[in-house]
Structure 1
Amino acid sequence: MKVFFTVLFLGLINFSATAQEFKFEEETINYGKIDKGSNGERIFVFTNVGDQPIIIKKIQSSCGCTVPKKPEKPVMPGEKGEIKVSYATNRVGGFSKSITIYSNAKNPTKVLRIKGLVNKGISLEKEKSILTDS
């Protein structure tokens, strides 16, 4: 019986020593103040800092106005990966949304956030293009 627990204990130590792990450059993206209808796509960049491939199984957003896109292939150790997030900027007002990542990492769930404020006015750049196109 002691041999069984010793083997089990050593197996757990070995498993934790070869765990997958990722590190995000930023865990919250602040859109700041953006105009209604502007580009709502942003990218979360991460690095696989473990010694095994990271496989993102699925990503779930807190509402339908936020659409995440996961990497299609495993991210190898030392490589960078991207998670694209598109927010529907046709909704005026402040927003704060979460994106939950499910993976094979040591901590299998990770929550990222986006926030910002969508203005209803048009920007000076849009006004300039309207005036010069006439």
Structure 2
Amino acid sequence: MKKVLVVLSAICLVGFTSCKEDATKKIDAENVAAAAERDAKANVFPVMEFDKTEHDFGEIASGTPVETVFTYKNVGEAPLVITDVKSSCGCTIPKDWSREPLAPGESGKFTVKFNGKGTNKVTKVVTVTANTKTGRETVKISAFVKPDPNAAQKANLPMAQ
């Protein structure tokens, strides 16, 4: 057992002392410059600026579909990439956003459609997932949904057999 331990120690000693080349001579100055530039850009994010962050549809009759368009601009210094746009419920549907990178200074838009379901004051949040510093931006829609005047009549109709 002692012989095995002595042999392994000797091999390790030879292995650690045989590298006489200076590691600093292996560093490439171009790689260092490229890494410094990459790291400087890592702290630069796109910034999404909306024309409006809330839209109020006002009073609408129950079941009346409405939609609005949110326009945004990339006011940051890096390309903006939107990976997803989701609403807080299935009654609100965001659509038509660009999945292509948006260069600094360029604008884009997406549509939000609300099906008009609910009662009284209804507010829905739409979350935009993008490569911004926070990773998520939000906009809101709201409406005052008036009851359908025909709903009571529809509820009192006899069922067909």
**TM-score, structure 1 normalization:** 0.72
Partner of 1:107: 134
Can you give the 5+ residue segments of structure 2 that lack an aligned partner in the other structure?
1-32, 150-161
Superposed displacement of residue 12, structure 1: 5.1
Can you give the 5+ residue segments of structure 1 that lack an aligned partner in the other structure?
1-6, 123-134
**TM-score, structure 2 normalization:** 0.61
Partner of 1:35: 61
Superposed displacement of residue 27, structure 1: 0.8
2:146 is the counterpart of 1:119: yes
> How large is the RMSD of aligned CA atoms in angstroms?
2.5
More moved, 33-42 vs 105-114: 33-42
Partner of 1:54: 80
Superposed displacement of residue 13, structure 1: 4.7
Alignment of 1:12-27 (within 5 A): 13-16=40-43, 18-27=44-53
The number of residue pairs the alignment matches comes to 116
More strand by share: 1
In 2, Cα distance between equivalents of 1:119 and 1:12: 54
Partner of 1:71: 98
More helix by share: 2
**Cα distance change on mapping 1:114 and 1:20 into 2, 3 Å:** same
Larger radius of gyration: 2
